[in-house]
Amino acid sequence: MRDTFGREITYLRVSVTDRCNLRCKYCLPAVGADKKSHDDILRSEEIVEICRAAVELGIVKIRVTGGEPLVRKGIVELCANLAALDIDELCLTTNGILLEQFAEPLKLAGVDRVNVSLDTLDADKYRKLTRGGDLSAVLRGIDAAKRAGLTPVKINAVLIKGVNDTEIDRFYELDNVEPRFIELMPIGESKEHWRERYFTLDSNKHKVISPISRKFCGACNRLRLTADGKLKPCLHSRDEYNVRGLRVEELKAAILNAAAAKPQMHLLETGATNSQRGMNRIGG
C-alpha cells in the first residue's frame, strides 16, 4: 500500500477507546472532554475485521492506543485477536496506571512490547500534571512490564518548559528502559499556549521526537484508526474516512483511499490543517 508520495504504509495505530483514567493538563480539560457513547465505539469484532483488511493490504505493525487502552473492557482478548493476525509486531501505548495487573496477560495474549507515557518522576508533580494520577502505580506497572518481557519498555515523556524540563536526567535513572522525549504539539489542551512552552534539547544526547521542529513526515508509514471507526491519513489532518459498517471490499477501498489521501506533510504549526480531535480521540 503506497501513498501518492511513494511512501509505503505498513503501520496502523488503533485507538480502542477515547476514555482515559488520567486528565493530563496539556491533553484534556479537567472535565467535559466529549465522550462517545458506547454505541459509537467500535466493537472488538469490528476492530479486528478492520485490522484484518488492513493487514491484507500491507499493514505489518499494529499499535493499540487510546484514550487509555487498558480501561477498555476485554482489552486482553482484543489484543489476542489482533496478535493472531499476520503481523510482525503488536505494541501498546499506555499511561501505565493499570499496567501492573495487565502486563502478564497482555504478554500471554501476544503483545510484543509497551510504551509507557510518563512525564515526571516527581510524585507530587505527577499528581498535579495528571490531575490525580499515582506515580507509584506507573512505576510498578513498568516493573511488571519488564518482568513479563514486554521489552524494550520505552518511556515517552512530553517535555514542557517550566514543568519537567529540569528532570531529563532523572529518566536515565530508571533501570532498563529507553527514555524518549516528545515535543509538545499544538493539539488538545495545548492548542493555545504551546509556543510559550518550548525549549531546545540536544538531540545528539537524547532520543528526541520532534514532530513540529523536525518533521519526519517524509518517513511516515502510518494510518490511524479512531475508536469511532474513522481512518485518519495524518495525525493532524481534518480528513477522516469511515470504515465502520462496510462490506470487506468497500472496507479495503476505504483503507486504500485513506492511504492515498495522506498529505505530504502536516502543517500544524501554521494552524492550517488542525484536526478537530484531541489526542485522546485520535490515538497518540
Which position among 10, 81, 130, 156 is part of the footprint of ligand SAM (CB under 6 A)?
156
Per CB under 6 A, which region of 186-194, 230-238, 241-249, 250-258 contacts ligand SAM? Answer: 186-194
The answer to whether the bond into 186 is cis (omega within 30° of 0) is: no
- Closer of 227 and 255 to ligand SAM (Cβ): 227
- Closer of 27 and 231 to ligand SAM (Cβ): 27
- The DSSP bridge partners found for residue 116 are 94, 155
Considering the rule CB under 6 A, would residue 280 count as an interface residue with ligand SAM? yes
- Closer of 79 and 256 to ligand SAM (Cβ): 79
Considering the rule CB under 6 A, would residue 81 count as an interface residue with ligand SAM? no
Which position among 12, 66, 163, 223 is part of the footprint of ligand SAM (CB under 6 A)?
66
Q: Crossing angle for the helix pair 75-83 and 44-56, nearest 10 degrees?
A: 20
Strand arrangement of the beta sheet that strand 153-159 belongs to: 208-209, 177-183, 153-159, 113-117, 89-94, 61-65, 11-15, 222-225, 230-232, 241-242
Torsion of CA 40, 44, 50, 51, to 10 degrees: 140
How distant is the alpha carbon of residue 215 from its chain centre?
Answer: 17
Q: Is 267 exposed, middle or buried (0-12, 13-18, 19+ CB in 10 A)?
A: middle
Considering the rule CB under 6 A, would residue 185 count as an interface residue with ligand SAM? yes
Considering the rule CB under 6 A, would residue 158 count as an interface residue with ligand SAM? yes
| Residues of span 205-264 touching ligand SAM by CB under 6 A | none
Write each residue from 21 to 50 as x if it is in contact with ligand SAM (CB under 6 A), else as -, in one continuous string: -----xx-----------------------
3-state secondary structure of 159: strand
Whether residue 240 contacts residue 232, with contact meaning beta carbons closer than 8 Å, is answered with yes
Q: Which residue is nearest to ligand SAM (CB)?
A: 284
Q: Which positions touch ligand SAM (CB under 6 A)? A: 20, 26-27, 65-66, 68, 93-95, 117, 156, 158, 182, 184-185, 187-188, 190, 279-280, 284
